[in-house]
Structure 1
Amino acid sequence: MEGRIRKRIRIGSRDSRLAVTQSQIVIEAIRKAHPELELELVTMKTTGDKILDKSLDKVGGKGLFVKELDIALREGRIDLSVHSLKDMPMEIPEDLPLIGYSKREDPRDVLILKDGFHMEEECGIIGSSSKRRVLQLKKLYPNLQFETIRGNVQTRIKKMEEQNYNGIVLALAGIKRLGLESIVTRVLSTEEMIPAAGQGILAIQGRRGLDYSFLDTFLNKESEIISTCERAFVTALDGGCSSPIAAYAQIKGNEISLQGLYCEEDSEDIRIGSIHGEVEKAAKLGETLARQLRSGR
């Protein structure tokens, strides 16, 4: 079966509503291009979904969101897995390569506030598990306080409604995929809030040696180039969960531009820079901007 298109494809996913919705996007694309294939969705709860009382950098980083799916891929219980690229570790196992990427959904972040709360005028508490988001929001709203909040989209919304949070920050891509745009209070521009690397892009991970040609009509070349640039920037900065890092690349014609943010661990000294060049040099551009920001240039 290795190396050939199978008649039955098992797609692995985290069991949150958003993860399942994103996996269904991939399933529908495969079904449209290859109606002859039998498709099965296999969901599972990852370690990252179970540990909600600690920040990711204290319990093992983003790898906790893929651990169980990686094991299932290796054991042949699934044939591919679907992830939000921003949640993927920078180091990808050689035997479980990233097959490709979806077209990018809106990469911006959004604020969701309790009814009647005006963050420009009042002090309040905003929930976010992302140092990247917190540091950038502090510049926009110095009057606010920030506390850690973990969980999937619905869990965070429920915590905001029931606990001592005046608002939360989430990725617009997930909100749109769940059809929840009506609860968004404010969309933050990419200049106000540089997104996480890969935000809005779905990554498909597979097992080395299998034939994934049935994905050809779904995979997006522009997203591949953008992802290469953004992830090269993060990798060059040894990016994990401990240091706030943001990266946002855009392609126009044969040129790619990258905006990056870096802040050393336990510091609030944000360094922001940009670079542009030919798309063929996407990875090199990411690495170059990382060096510039790290050296303070």
Structure 2
Amino acid sequence: MKQKIRLGSRDSRLAVIQTQLVMDQLHQLYPEMELKLVTMKTTGDLILDRTLDKIGGKGLFVRELDAALLDGRVDLTVHSFKDLPMELPEELPIVAITCRDDPRDALVLPQGQQSLDLTRPIGCASKRRALQLKELFPGCRVEPVRGNVQTRLKKLDDGQYGSLVLAAAGLRRLGLEERIHRLFEPEELLPAACQGVLAVQARRDFDVSFLRPLHDPQAELLTRAERSFVRTLDGGCSAPVAAHGRLNGETLTLTGFYAGPEDERGIKQTLSGPALEGEELGRRLAELIRKEAEACV
């Protein structure tokens, strides 16, 4: 009998494209498999007049998808891994992690503009980016911007902002690579933990053996370390925390960024260790930065 798999996704254009990327891989692997896309709006998609730290954090983007998994309306859900909360329900594990796309942040200018205009604010959705941008561009104004990528770009082109900072991977997946004015290297602007990686969730009792070819072991090593760093600092959407790992053979080098709730500057440090001990490396780096932050108080 032909296997039928229902994949749940937020109904934003980017989320649908990302879910379709997973579906395309499954189609290539299993031509006879019947795949169905199930989209839904989440609470985070509906509340656009406040920043996420004011309304409950990243969990608002997965609540409805988790419920659909638990009650059997869908079999898998696909997420930007950076948007998943640090603590996940035990009954809904991550069952596949895709190969990492470009993890960098990108600077986007209004249509037709060739240089950054700092007389108008830079629009970005996180304090993580805001603090680092103020270090890169002293004296700049950074203001929050919500909505999907297309909504943000319209606000930019309408003159509400002088520029935007968005994830390069999302722009490329949307076919908007031409909007990228420049890319920020991680040394300049440390990206969110797990940026550029897609994660697939399922019920614990669901047979996911067919997903093994989609899973990328290197991405798993990196994301385990990055999420461990953020989790140790109790970081999420409300905390300015960032982490980015690189692999060199069996060595993982992890850079972390953290700022306290009232801090106007963050602390950045780097630590290396065995790649297979990435979670411990993330915890150690987080504790080093926490101690430095406490010493500065």
What range is the shorter-chain TM-score in?
over 0.9
C-alpha distance in structure 2 between counterparts of 1:48 and 1:238, whole Å: 20
Q: Is the 8 A contact 1:123 1:143 kept in 2?
A: no
Which residue among 10, 14, 17 is the counterpart of 1:14?
Answer: 10
Matched residue type, 1:174: G
- The CA deviation at 1:124 is 1.9
C-alpha distance in structure 2 between counterparts of 1:186 and 1:19, whole Å: 24
- The CA deviation at 1:243 is 1.8
Matched residue type, 2:51: S
Q: Is the 8 A contact 1:260 1:289 kept in 2?
A: yes
C-alpha distance in structure 2 between counterparts of 1:249 and 1:122, whole Å: 31
Counterpart secondary structure, 1:40: strand
TM-score (ref. length: structure 1): 0.95
Match of 1:264 in 2: 260
What aligned pairs does 1:207-218 form with structure 2 within 5 A after superposition? 207-218=203-214
Q: Is the 8 A contact 2:118 2:141 kept in 1?
A: no
C-alpha distance in structure 1 between counterparts of 2:125 and 2:281, whole Å: 29
Matched residue type, 1:273: Q
- The CA deviation at 1:75 is 0.6
What aligned pairs does 1:1-297 form with structure 2 within 5 A after superposition? 7-114=3-110, 115-116=112-113, 118-119=115-116, 122-296=118-292
The count of residues paired between Structure 1 and Structure 2 equals 292
C-alpha distance in structure 1 between counterparts of 2:213 and 2:96, whole Å: 11
- The CA deviation at 1:117 is 6.3
- The CA deviation at 1:192 is 0.5
C-alpha distance in structure 1 between counterparts of 2:157 and 2:126, whole Å: 20
Deviation larger for 160-169 or 95-104: 160-169
Deviation larger for 286-295 or 150-159: 150-159
Matched residue type, 2:97: Y
C-alpha distance in structure 2 between counterparts of 1:134 and 1:52, whole Å: 19
Structure 1 residue runs of 4 or more that deviate by more than 4 Å after TM superposition: none
Unaligned runs of 5+ in 1: none
Task: State percent identity of aligned pairs.
Answer: 49
